[in-house]
């Protein structure tokens, strides 16, 4: 979904347009950043939940609501790490205590290229796995939509006003 604003955003040193690149790539292990207004992970409710194999249900965790924008560094992962169907338009990223939470969907996954922020992905969905015997940590497995896969669509829907470089 693209949103058309009624008024232009006044850009400044603190508010700049994001770059969109057609051929941006990131290898597993590369660092990225995700931002969003999602809920904050506080801990796993029960130590026994940390011993289960597989995904940890959100009902087994405590979260705290916030109105603040948050940013977290995270590593790009091989798509198989996220245990999802591999496609050309998906990115897997995350790690222990580095990822997105409910409420972050639609936010950016960013890379730095040539000293500029580039939007690499859009937060879509994810899962958590427990860290054995640790109620204060989870392993995030976030799936992001690859923006470069939609460059032609973005150009078409904005009548050419927005193009990937």
Alpha carbons 61 and 25: distance in angstroms, whole number: 33
Give the pLDDT of the chain (165 residues) as one tens digit per residue.
788 889 988 999 888 889 999 999 999 999 999 999 999 999 999 999 888 888 899 999 999 999 999 999 999 999 988 888 778 899 999 999 999 999 999 999 999 999 999 999 999 999 999 999 999 999 999 999 999 999 999 999 999 999 999
Query: In DSSP terms, which residues pair with 43 in a beta bridge?
Result: 62
Among 77, 86, 83, 21, smallest CA distance to 53 is for 83
Residues counted in the chain: 165
- Number of Cα atoms under 13 Å in the Cβ half of residue 157: 10
Q: For the full predicted model, state whether its pTM sits above 0.85.
A: yes
Contact between 143 and 99 under an 8 Å Cβ cutoff? The reply is no
- What would the two tokens of residue 113 be? 């290229």
Domains and CATH numbers, the chain: 31-157 (2.40.10.10)
């Amino acid at each position: 979904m693209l949103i058309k604003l009624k008024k232009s955003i006044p850009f400044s040193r603190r508010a700049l347009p994001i770059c969109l690149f057609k051929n941006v790539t990131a290898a597993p292990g590369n660092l990225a950043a995700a931002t969003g207004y999602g809920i904050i992970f506080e801990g796993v409710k029960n130590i026994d939940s940390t011993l289960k194999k597989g995904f940890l249900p959100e009902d087994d965790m405590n979260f705290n609501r916030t109105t603040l924008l948050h940013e977290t560094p995270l590593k790009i992962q091989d798509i198989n790490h996220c245990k999802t169907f591999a496609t050309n338009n998906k990115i897997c990223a995350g790690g222990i205590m580095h990822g997105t939470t409910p409420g972050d969907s639609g936010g950016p996954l960013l890379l730095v290229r040539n000293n500029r922020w580039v939007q690499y992905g859009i937060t879509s969905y994810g899962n958590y796995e427990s860290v054995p015997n640790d109620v204060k940590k989870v392993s995030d497995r976030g799936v992001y939509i690859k923006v470069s896969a939609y460059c032609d669509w973005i150009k078409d829907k904005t009548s050419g006003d927005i193009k990937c470089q």
